[in-house]
Amino acid sequence: MNFTQPRLPYAPDALEPVISQKTIEYHYGKHEKNYIDTLNKLIKDTPFDNMALEDIIVKSDGKIFNNASQAWNHIFYFFQFNPAGGSEPTGKLKDKIIEQFGSIEDFKREFEDAGATLFGSGWVWLSADGDGKLFITQGKNAENPMCDGLRPILVFDVWEHAYYLDYQNRRADYLLHLWDIVDWDIVSMRYNND
């Protein structure tokens, strides 16, 4: 089976100034596309050929894992944004964030801090376990919390390719501005519809 790159649900310049059209052209247009194209080549005529992407991620390692997980992570990342974002979590997710982190603002600072302090390339994740407990974790390179039995809710990409054209070395600035385009309706649905 060939995986196809899903189209973005917004125009390439729609997330400006938080994420520029140029970054979308490289990050979505070249990086994400390349992970998907490479994965399709790697799994051809292997036992992974007809597997769901999530199954490949938890069952593979090496190059196939790296490209499968990077494909999934980028699709998950780009689909949580909306030019009219910047709202607030809703329903059970909002209640749980306040219960565990004190407030939405406290949660955001802790999430940004995890992203800013991750050394090298990777992702900062909000995930939930089977009981709905939330976890903020740092994932190196292509890591995905699914491999630890957690359900991803929100992710910020902290590979330099995600922010260098717009923010250069100012990763913390990029993380701070991402909140302006997070579509909390989509993110909350990932948690509330469990």
Nearer to Mn ion, 28 or 184 (CB): 28
How far apart (Å, rounded) are the C-alpha atoms in residues 75 and 145?
15
Minimum CB separation of residue 81 from Mn ion in Å reads 13
Nearer to Mn ion, 118 or 162 (CB): 162
Any idea how long the chain is?
Answer: 194
Minimum CB separation of residue 143 from Mn ion in Å reads 13
Listing from the earlier edge strand, what are the strands of the sheet with 134-140? Answer: 134-140, 122-128, 151-157
Residue with the CB atom nearest Mn ion in the bound state = 157
Residues that bind Mn ion (CB under 5 A): 157, 159, 162
How far apart (Å, rounded) are the C-alpha atoms in residues 18 and 191?
25
From residue 101, how far is each of 106, 110, 142, 149 by CA, in Å?
A: 6, 8, 26, 22
Minimum CB separation of residue 42 from Mn ion in Å reads 19
Minimum CB separation of residue 20 from Mn ion in Å reads 14
Nearer to Mn ion, 107 or 159 (CB): 159
